[in-house]
Amino acid sequence: MLKDVYICDAIRTPIGRYSGSLSTIRADDLAAIPLQALKNRHPMLDVHQIDDVVLGCANQAGEDNRNIARMALLLAGLPETLAGVTLNRLCGSGLNAIGYAMQAIKAGENELMIAGGVEHMTRAPYVMGKAQTAFDRHQDMFDTTMGWRFINAKLDARYGTETMPQTAENLAAKFDISRAQQDRFAFLSQSNAASAQKAGYFSEEITPVHVLQKKAPSIIFDTDEHLRLTSLEKMAKLSPIVHPQGSITAANASGINDGAAAMILASESALRAQNLTPKAKILGMSVVGVTPSLMGIGPVPASQKLLSRLGLTLEDMDIIELNEAFAAQALACIQALGLKEDDPRINPQGGAIALGHPLGMSGTRIVMSAMHQLIRNQQRYALCTMCIGVGQGIAMIIENVDKD
């Protein structure tokens, strides 16, 4: 018999802007921060009973190499007998990490797990390929911050290897989404995030980060710093980033960011054994593949697949956390799902356009945000869904335990 799986606690770092407040902290040290915070928040938790730690991370080419989940748990002071695994489904890694842990607990293989994600895009290194022949002086170097590198010619010929902004332009053209629509959506994301930040809603998610200074006291970083609310008029003046006739700009796209998040997942028996309080139940997860050049549409079939399997509908959802890789991408999904652009259930506290998108961490953040919103608003269901590079989609539905 399949077991119910519960989220008992969740915490994250503030999201840092590119080369911002988190830029001096290594990726593995950053990933350790929410793990240590969970341990400190639950002093009576027997950490030796944790079955596994699963962290999502999309890059793994620099300080996040060599299984960052294992390195981070050791840095966090968790027992060396505790195992850790790093999962890579690109942008969906932090959400898939939760799903991986959920599946293990649901199947009865594990009882108590930590899942989350991390990405340090500021410190993503350049990588250089090895010479392919003796005395070869040709060297290819790639920036690993995001996007393709070491492209396979056969894959490129068959599916193309377009940049993420270009795939958003493809969706804008396919769904006839204007620049004005995208800017309005981005402005709403910024406005909602600014309002949520002012109301203190993010403070319940965040553990402060002490940033060491060379010749000064450490700085306490405790507030998401990517938010940049401005006017629609100023947004309209920005130049497109793909081509002159395009509509994707820095204002209607997500950011390049740093951050880490983690949560405790438990079965019902683990709740009793560890005296943990459940906050939300994970009902299920689904993943799908889509055309790589239209990768941003992935949330649509992923959500439809999961809703159908659980016998639920979009009308049942109280919160829809749709990760905002690009405004054009989010709007295409909204249109394809038959929703309205201004549906108040969609990203009520803003999304990645405002808050930022540390790739491996974002999926954990949106589940955490959805959970807090359900509890605060005394609502029942939340859909959390994301598009994924190379053409995939992922979706998860959680339920407020007080609404069972």
pLDDT digits (tens, 9 = 90+) for 68-89: 999 999 999 999 999 999 999 9
Confidence of residue 139 (pLDDT cuts 50, 70, 90): confident
Q: Per-residue pLDDT tens for 2-11?
A: 999 999 999 9
In this prediction, residue 106 carries a pLDDT of 98
Residue 291 resides in a domain:
yes
Average confidence score pLDDT of the chain:
96
Q: Per-residue pLDDT tens for 145-179?
A: 999 999 999 999 999 999 999 999 999 999 999 99
> Which CATH number do you get for residue 268?
3.40.47.10
Q: Domain range spanning residue 381?
A: 6-124+254-397
- Please state, in angstroms and as integers, the Cα–Cα distance from residue 250 to each residue in 186, 238, 296, 325, following that order: 10, 8, 17, 11
Residue 167 resides in a domain:
no
Q: How far is CA 241 from the centre of its chain?
A: 23
In this prediction, residue 383 carries a pLDDT of 98
- Please state, in angstroms and as integers, the Cα–Cα distance from residue 352 to each residue in 63, 263, 280, 323, following that order: 24, 20, 23, 6
Please say if the pLDDT value at position 95 is more than 70.
yes
Output the CA angle 156-157-160, nearest 5 degrees: 45
Structure tokens at 118: 């991390």
Comparing 125-139, 345-359, 361-375, the range with the smallest average pLDDT is 125-139
Beta bridge partners of 101: none
Q: Give the number of other Cβ atoms within 10 Å of residue 224's Cβ.
A: 25
Please say if the pLDDT value at position 51 is more than 80.
yes
Confidence of residue 404 (pLDDT cuts 50, 70, 90): low
Please say if the pLDDT value at position 403 is more than 80.
no
In this prediction, residue 132 carries a pLDDT of 82
Alpha-carbon dihedral of residues 72, 76, 77, 78, nearest 10 degrees? -60
Structure tokens at 279: 């906050």
Residue 42 resides in a domain:
yes
Residue 135 resides in a domain:
no
User: Is this structure's pTM higher than 0.75?
Assistant: yes
Catalytic residues: 91, 357, 387
Confidence of residue 123 (pLDDT cuts 50, 70, 90): very high
- Return the percentage of the chain with pLDDT > 90, whole number: 94
Residue 216 resides in a domain:
no
Please say if the pLDDT value at position 63 is more than 90.
yes
Question: Is 358 in contact with 91 (CB distance < 8 Å)?
Answer: no
Q: Per-residue pLDDT tens for 204-258?
A: 999 999 999 888 889 999 999 999 999 999 999 999 999 999 999 999 999 999 9
Residue 134 resides in a domain:
no
Instruction: Specify the DSSP element, H or E, that contains 155.
Output: helix 153-159
331 three-class SS: helix
Residue 119 resides in a domain:
yes
Confidence of residue 353 (pLDDT cuts 50, 70, 90): very high
Question: How many folded domains does the chain comprise?
Answer: 1
Residue 151 resides in a domain:
no
